[in-house]
Amino acid sequence: MNETAAAERIRFLTHEIRRHNELYFRKADPEISDFDYDLLKQELEKLERAYPELAREDSPTGQVGEDLSEGFQTYQHRLPMLSLDNTYSKDEFFAFVERVGKGLESESTEFVVEPKIDGVAVSVTYENGQIVRAVTRGNGSEGDDITANAVLIEELPKSFEESGAPEIVEVRGEIYMRNDEFDRINSERQTEGLEAFKNPRNLAAGTVKMLDRAEVAKRQLNIILYGIGFCQPDIVETQWGFHEKLREWRFPVGERFWKVNGAVQAWEAIEQLDAMRNDFPYPTDGAVVKVNGFREQAILGQTSKAPRWAIAYKFAAEQAETLLEDIVIQVGRTGVLTPVAQLKPTTLAGTTVSRATLHNAEEMERKDVRVGDTVIVEKAGEIIPAVLRVVKEKRPLESAPFVFPATCPECGSETRRLEGEVALRCINIECPAQVRGRLEHFASRQCMDIEGLGIAVVNQLVARTLVSNYADIYRLTFDNLIGLEKFAEKSANNLLEAIEKSKGNDFWRLLHGLGIPQVGAAAAKDLAKAYGSVARLRDAGVESLIEVEGIGEKTAEGIMAFFQNEANAAIVDDLFRLGMNPVAPEVPEGDDAIFDGMTFVITGTLATMKRSEAKALIESKGGKAAGSVSKKTDYLVAGESAGSKLSKAESLGIPVLSEEGLLALIDSRSGN
């Protein structure tokens, strides 16, 4: 691969990984398995090592996946809450143990082996034995404050009075949903004609981020605690000792842990865990192996995203052999045709499986998948199963290759493969499947947040030709809604109120909801701040757009093409005629814009302000509060317990301010 090809591949992988990070961490709706995601990151890491001059400072390979969400206050972790490096290889695991031995100059290291629970990482802070806060991992430095929802978990202690309780302790663990609770909720949804949730992890992640506590209370969440963050004063010296302390405090802990010496014993514990994990009441997708001693952990240290003293060994995806009875084509909101295998029901990872993804036409051709084949399906990371391979010796003699339709199965329109794409697309933007998908996206919590306008309601509205585009939502009347299934007077009025309320949403929500190619929530916020209105954004050229941080040339061209499309332009105009009045972010001007063009990063615990308050203060002065330190950073604002960001800022020669220094800088630039 030459440098030009490597640069293009790095750009593609960076975009894909960020897209999948958004789906997994923020939307709790991943498209691919953990294994496939890890392969993307491994390929990017390999290219970055081979072409270091092409590696980006903000590469996702050096960052913790971020789960920060709108609607939640953020809180700084006193100690970073990092992710774990992982492997699927026994050889790589033994290599990890060897690196640890060299780092400690020891021939045999003591480890603790724990189940890797597939849930939502959380840090729960207790002060003098009383719970004060529960925070998600977030970006590793700060997370979302989910205390209001976490305290609804019955088994999470709200206090503990045992002697020796430290003044402050961060107890870390995973919020998860039991398999039987997941099945109960899905059974109820299917009875109501709603789409089933994909897996327990996604449902748990979505539940802890719900703003409606009454709805959270209807779903039973559980928690397991296993790790220690900040603690004052120190109470234990080992990971094993902390497990014993958690039991003493009567905190919920896992069924099994192993204390072992060296690689061989650790591997034996991993194999024992693999053999028993399906009997656990929660989803477990691997084993976490940690150096036991905290002193030894400190010697080994950490990278920007993961400790060097721990690793997650991921278990092989569970597989089963079954019959592929049919192949059906689904059409998404962007018109992409996705093949789905209809399987003879089989049991896989403790659940009955009757469908599996086939990804796209190219992948089907590569695997030579046909109707009537006996196939091996796997369920990696509890995501929708995928067809791994065909058992060709069992193929029927009369089998024939699957032929992708030349026309859309939903609307009969022509399908095409666009230049540079693998997928086939339906080119009819009025295709009912695309209409449903676009409307679901527009009304979702991540976009216009129209409560009550979910999948089941959208399907009915499209089927009855009551809506065909975003603007039609704002033409709906009481008479339209009262005729829908399961709609009474109250539910109809509630939906109409939610639709009316959405007209005054933040501008970025409208931009995100319009489905402009490659414009997710983050890009929509940047565009909203830069332009403030649809009219100004429409008039922007490529050169103007690429000056917005995070907007590349391809995205800029996509934005222009979207607004130059007559059908899109007509719908947007219609929205505003129907009363759409989005709120533009306040952009300081004149004397107020003292930080115009400047980028700040905030780390640590500030003396009197929350991080969110400091961020709002900087933005009110025209500055940008970024999440990571780079050469473009003008100032780092550092409070107590500042970590890796402070070290990086110092290495780059970036000025460091305290909270007092930030206020003094504001005074000096304001002429006070």
> In 3-state terms, what secondary structure has residue 360?
coil
Across the beta sheet with 284-291, what order do the strands follow? 86-87, 310-314, 284-291, 110-117, 258-261
**How does DSSP assign 579-610, residue by residue?**
T--PBPPP---GGG-TTTT-EEEEESB-SSS-
Q: Which residue has the tokens 């020669």?
A: 653
What angle (nearest 5°) sits at the alpha carbon of residue 121, between those of residues 118 and 127?
145
Residues 459 and 435: beta-carbon distance below 8 Å: no
Strands (E) located in 48-106: 74-76, 86-87
Hey, what are 24's tokens?
A: 């997994």
Across the beta sheet with 656-657, what order do the strands follow? 624-626, 599-603, 635-638, 656-657
What angle (nearest 5°) sits at the alpha carbon of residue 35, between those of residues 30 and 37?
50
What angle (nearest 5°) sits at the alpha carbon of residue 410, between those of residues 568 and 425?
60
Hey, what are 63's tokens?
A: 């960052």
- Catalytic entry in 116, 209, 529, 621: 116
What does the longest C-alpha to C-alpha distance in the chain come to? 86
What angle (nearest 5°) sits at the alpha carbon of residue 631, between those of residues 629 and 635?
60
d(CA 613, CA 603): 13
Interstrand relation of 624-626 and 599-603 (parallel, antiparallel or unpaired): parallel
Q: Which residue has the tokens 């970024």?
A: 626
> In 3-state terms, what secondary structure has residue 552?
coil
> In 3-state terms, what secondary structure has residue 208?
helix
Q: Which residue has the tokens 């992988």?
A: 13
Residues 371 and 344: beta-carbon distance below 8 Å: no
> In 3-state terms, what secondary structure has residue 328?
strand
d(CA 127, CA 523): 39
How many helices (H) does the chain have, and how many strands (E)? 25, 22
Hey, what are 156's tokens?
A: 């999470």
- For residue 605, the Cα-to-chain-centroid distance in whole angstroms is 25
Q: Which residue has the tokens 């969110």?
A: 612
d(CA 295, CA 291): 10
245 as an active site residue: the answer is no
Single out the residue of 128, 337, 311 nearest to residue 233, CA to CA.
Answer: 128
Residues 150 and 175: beta-carbon distance below 8 Å: yes
Collect all residues with Cβ–Cβ distance below 8 Å to 81 and sequence separation of at least 6: 64, 121, 123, 137, 138, 140, 143, 172, 229
Active site residues: 116
